[in-house]
Amino acid sequence: MIGKGAPNLQGSEKTHGAPLGADEIAATRANIGWASEPFVIPANIVDAWRAVAKRGAKARADWQKRLDASPKKARFEAAMSGVMPAAVSRSLAAFRKEHIEKATKVATRKASEMALGAINGATTLTVGGSADLTHSNLTITKGMERVAPGRYKGRYIHYGIREHGMSAAMNGIALHGGFVPYGGTFMVFTDYARGAMRLSALMGKRVIYVMTHDSIGLGEDGPTHQPIEHLAMLRATPNMTVFRPADIIETAEAWEVALNKTDGPTVLVLSRQNLPMLRDRHDKDNRSARGAYVLREPAGARDVTILATGSEVEIAKAASDRLLANHGVKAAVVSMPSWELFEAQDEAYRAKVLGKAPRVAVEAAARMGWDRWTGDNGAFIGMNSFGASAPAGELYKHFGITAEAVADAALKVAGKAGK
């Protein structure tokens, strides 16, 4: 009962958001038999709590002795340190090199599953799961045993259709320490997980959210499942790092950053549809770790810069090709997988990436936030309504998110329309 013990106000909303007042406080004291002065704790209560602390100190000391005698002490302390084993970075570096050479074309949700195979094979510290969408989110990898009643040795949790519950449980795992929790659902269902996701950020805990089916590109499931405003909401959340990778390489790079970020959560925003390899060479450096980078720099001065994330980076490259071939317009292409990490770079790096030419941004999501990067005279190609039910390719044409539309906008902002 709310306000229990306050004789005139208990059970009332009046005890929720306002002080009881001097008269009701006096009546409450009399009602519950509390005679001590304000902020004075009676000696018998202090003694009882100190006895609890004494028992706890002994239990803690006994536990420390067992740990000190254990041959697994070093392994335990390494896990609790929060530092990922070096084998993970080595595995991901080899993974990136392999797939650059193969020019692997897969959906980024599949790329995530493949990267997780490399990660989960290199460490036992990850604990995965999904809110009843395992085989859509692709969050389980070969050899992962499921956690079940009476069987707690596993590393994979079936949370059921409980997005908030999954996120809250992952917060608990992260608070305990020793494991790195990750869990998946559809991007649109961040609405259900929102409260717990916000707490991940507020508490500064390493929780990794695998959010697939990231745009109208999911197709026929339609507007109830197509996220529009969700990227803007996540990007607006303090201390939350959001990645929307464009291909398998950026996906692996995003995982590496997420695993090594110990002071807050990361959201991986992943596509349902296949995306081509966009890099043309292997880089030892993690380019996505800087948030944005120049994927294509034209010869000579830029006429325009096209900014994009995720599945729309492919469209940006096609627009750049079109501009040069049809109009002689030189367009740089910038991939921006993480706004937060790009914002954290120094001014010189940001200026080098963005350039001085007019800018066009393309993203199959709401415009909110993009004006900061395009500037007052820039343009945006994306969503300004809810989606619809149709194959992905048809939806992109219907909503005008095409290479042709991007090229037309680029010509306009560059002052070359009609030329």
Indicate the average pLDDT of the chain.
Answer: 96
Q: Which two tokens stand for residue 314?
A: 């492919």
Q: What is the DSSP letter of 12?
A: S
What pLDDT sits at residue 79? 95
CB 321 within 8 A of CB 140: no
Q: Express each pLDDT in 146-184 by its tens digit.
A: 999 999 999 999 999 999 999 999 999 999 999 999 999
Between CA 303 and CA 415 the distance in angstroms is: 9
**pTM for this structure?**
0.94
What is the pLDDT averaged over residues 368-372?
Answer: 97
Q: E strands of 285-412, at which residues?
A: 293-296, 304-308, 331-335, 359-366, 379-383
Amino acid identity of residue 12, one-letter, is S
Percentage of the chain beyond pLDDT 90 is: 96
What is the pLDDT averaged over residues 269-287?
Answer: 95
Indicate which residue of 24, 113, 163, 363 is catalytic.
Answer: 163
Positive or negative, the CA dihedral 294, 298, 300, 306 is: negative
| Alpha-carbon distance values, 180 to 94, 255, 277, 309, 380 (Å) | 22, 12, 28, 26, 37
Give 248's Cβ-side CA count (13 Å radius).
28
Positive or negative, the CA dihedral 376, 377, 380, 386 is: positive
What pLDDT sits at residue 244? 98
Confidence of residue 417 (pLDDT cuts 50, 70, 90): confident
Q: Express each pLDDT in 395-413 by its tens digit.
A: 999 999 999 999 999 999 9
Has residue 139 got a pLDDT over 80?
yes
Between CA 169 and CA 182 the distance in angstroms is: 10
What pLDDT sits at residue 195? 97
What is the pLDDT averaged over residues 75-94?
Answer: 96
What is the pLDDT averaged over residues 328-347?
Answer: 98
User: Residues 6 or more apart from 236 whose CB is under 8 A from it?
Assistant: 369
Has residue 269 got a pLDDT over 80?
yes
Confidence of residue 133 (pLDDT cuts 50, 70, 90): very high
13 is catalytic: no
Has residue 419 got a pLDDT over 70?
no
Q: Which of 331, 302, 337, 301 is nearest to 319 (CA)?
A: 331
- H-run or E-run covering 158: strand 156-158
What is the pLDDT averaged over residues 200-210?
Answer: 98
What pLDDT sits at residue 18? 87
What is the pLDDT averaged over residues 185-194?
Answer: 98
CB 283 within 8 A of CB 258: no
- H-run or E-run covering 284: none
Helix, strand, coil proportions of the chain in percent (round to 5)?
45, 15, 40
Q: Express each pLDDT in 291-335 by its tens digit.
A: 999 999 999 999 999 999 999 999 999 999 999 999 999 999 999
As to burial, measured by CB atoms within 10 angstroms (0-12 exposed, 13-18 middle, 19+ buried), residue 396 is buried
Q: Which of 321, 408, 315 is nearest to 364 (CA)?
A: 315
- Residue 88 has a CB neighbour count (10 Å cut-off) of 22
